[in-house]
Amino acid sequence: MKIIMLGAPGAGKGTQAKQIAEKYSIPHISTGDIFRANIRNNTELGKKAKEFMDQGLLVPDELTCDLVMDRIAEDDCKNGFVLDGFPRTIPQAEALDAALAKTGQKMEYAIDVDVADENIVNRMGGRRACLNCGATYHIVTIPTKQEGICDKCGNPVVLRDDDKPETVQKRLTVYHEQTQPLIEYYKKQGILKSVDGSQPMEKVFSDIVASLA
């Protein structure tokens, strides 16, 4: 089962991707996690990625594509995978399709988690992240047990630069210009499934599972 998660930043597609991965025993491949690991380890790729992410811009294709292709080639992806954060543009989607075609594979589902921009700005302003282990929380829906402290590793949690309202607005503009066209791209391929992402998380997940049946 090869699945792509679509939706604006903050739509909740990462949370849903993790649940899908767990239910179907396939890996959740998040480019955001890969970038953050590189940033945390201060690699050259991480430094470059951070420059773009802090400004609310997309990380360029050349920093992303090879990384994802290498990951898909690993053994744990033989029964499928959930892609979260890639592809973000039509050229990336075409590159992914071409790379999969070489090995006789193709994407099977593209799930669009649809949420209005206004809801996203409010939602992301409440997000908190641990810069040490990468765990994410929300001050309303997924609060830390101890205020401001990560449940997993005990380090402080912060409002990331790319979750601040002015950066979120910029990210949404970039999303509508560059990523939203993927909805039509996968619709034409006949693999698009759309769910209402403004519902409670459990309902969004059950709608996704129903669409994969």
Burial of 17 (0-12, 13-18, 19+ CB in 10 A): buried
Secondary structure element (H or E) that encloses residue 45, with its range: helix 44-54
Rounded Cα–Cα distance for residues 4 and 23 (Å): 16
**90 and 182 Cβ atoms separated by less than 8 Å:** yes
Burial of 27 (0-12, 13-18, 19+ CB in 10 A): middle
**128 and 137 Cβ atoms separated by less than 8 Å:** yes
Secondary structure element (H or E) that encloses residue 194, with its range: strand 192-196
Handedness of CA 127, 48, 114, 174 (dihedral sign): positive
- Which residues, including other chains, have CB under 8 Å from residue 6's CB and lie 6 or more apart? 13, 110, 111, 112, 113, 179, 182, 183, 186
How is residue 60 written in tokens? 């360029």
- Which residues, including other chains, have CB under 8 Å from residue 70's CB and lie 6 or more apart? none
Residues tagged active-site: 13, 88, 127, 160, 171
